[in-house]
Amino acid sequence: MERALKSRELILAFAIVALILMISLRFPAFAGPANLANVFNDTAILIMLALGQMAVILTKSIDLSVAANLALNGMVVAMLNSAMPGIPVPLLIVLAVGLGAALGALNGLMVWKLDIPPIVATLGTLTIYRGLIFVISGGAWVNAHEMSPGFKDLPRAVLGLPVLSWIAMLVILGAWIVYTRTPAGRAFYAVGGNANAAVYTGIDVGRTRFLAFVLSGTIAGLCGYLWVARYAVAYVDIAGGFELDVIAACVIGGISIAGGIGSVAGAVLGALFLGVIKNALPVVNISPFWQLAISGTAIIVAVAFNARAERTRGRVILKSAERGA
């Protein structure tokens, strides 16, 4: 029971429920099933990006270019659809996913082959990808009337839920399988936990980090299409600053920036925590611009909490060893 109460996922789930209940005391409709479904749908893209970022953070790296990757892919598919409406939407999705994977691979190669620190490599590609959006678009927007109906209609409701929510649930399931049931998932944890020990087990540390960046980029590519199709607009500053929310969701969910620690449930709950806050701010008449301050504060608190928890575990292990001696 004591172990369950210390579970980050359980604590976070209680915090989300408590937050919803507090808001619903003043605005009962907020806790209604339809509104909660909307909150999940509004948070779907953040959840998917956090699950991709999770792979990178597990390997003791970070991907600051994830939102720029999304934005570039969103602009590319929007411009292609506007110029050639006859291109099948599934082909555009495949293109977005493939381009996203390629951009992620570029990050991975710089970290793997050139030994560039991940934060430096992805900060550079963030700027490059944002610049490319302006270059290919000339600063112009692609608006709803320039997009084909099929391009915009994919993320609409099916069986009572938006397709965007269904896709997010499939990504959650796929992430759980990858992280807990595949050699690649186990390698992510091993590399982040102890890279030197991972080498002795036959794991290629550089290649594993490369795969993590490719996974992150692949999901970002998919989200690029989903973002543009849902909001029916593409512009230079798509998802500006969204990488902060993605990292915040991971850290709040208990994914350690020191690597090797984290869970799919934690990433999802971390994203939902931010999603509830984002949806609650307008309800309680607080400016949405405060979300950035709240996200930054949450990152600092979560990192401090993680560091304290890891130090506590270390002391307990040493004490146990002393008793055994």
**pLDDT, tens digit, 9 for 90 and up, residues 226-258:** 999 999 999 999 999 899 899 989 999 989 888
> Between 203 and 303, where is the model more confident?
203
pTM comes to: 0.90
> Between 269 and 323, where is the model more confident?
269
With pLDDT > 90 as the criterion, what percentage of the chain qualifies?
A: 66
Q: Where would I find the H helices in the chain?
A: 2-5, 8-26, 33-58, 66-83, 89-112, 118-137, 149-153, 163-181, 183-193, 195-200, 205-231, 242-252, 264-283, 290-324
Query: What is the domain partition of the chain in residue ranges?
Result: 54-240, 247-316
Q: What is the rounded distance in angstroms from the CA atom of residue 298 to the CA atom of residue 244?
A: 11
Q: What is the pLDDT of residue 311?
A: 57
Q: What is the pLDDT of residue 23?
A: 87
What's the mean per-residue pLDDT of the chain? Answer: 88
Question: How many CB atoms lie under 10 A from the CB of residue 111?
Answer: 25
What single DSSP character describes residue 30?
G
What is the greatest pairwise CA distance in the chain? 74
Q: What is the pLDDT of residue 210?
A: 98
Residue type, 54: M
Structure tokens at 239: 């998802």
Q: What is the rounded distance in angstroms from the CA atom of residue 144 to the CA atom of residue 286?
A: 29
Residue 156 has pLDDT above 70, yes or no: no
* Region for residue 117 given its phi and psi (left: phi exceeds 0; alpha: psi -120 to 50; beta: otherwise): beta
CA distances from 305 to 8, 169, 172, 256 (A): 10, 28, 25, 10
Q: Is 162 helix (H, G, I), strand (E, B) or coil?
A: strand
Q: Is 234 helix (H, G, I), strand (E, B) or coil?
A: strand
288's CB contacts (< 8 A; 6+ apart) are: 278, 281, 282
**pLDDT, tens digit, 9 for 90 and up, residues 261-317:** 999 999 999 999 999 988 887 777 777 677 667 767 777 777 777 666 665 454 433
User: Which residue, among 265, 260, 294, 301, has the nearest Cα to 278 in the 3D structure?
Assistant: 294
Q: What is the pLDDT of residue 324?
A: 44
**pLDDT, tens digit, 9 for 90 and up, residues 22-55:** 888 888 888 899 899 999 999 999 999 999 999 9
Residue 92 has pLDDT above 70, yes or no: yes
Chain Cα centroid distance, residue 12 = 17
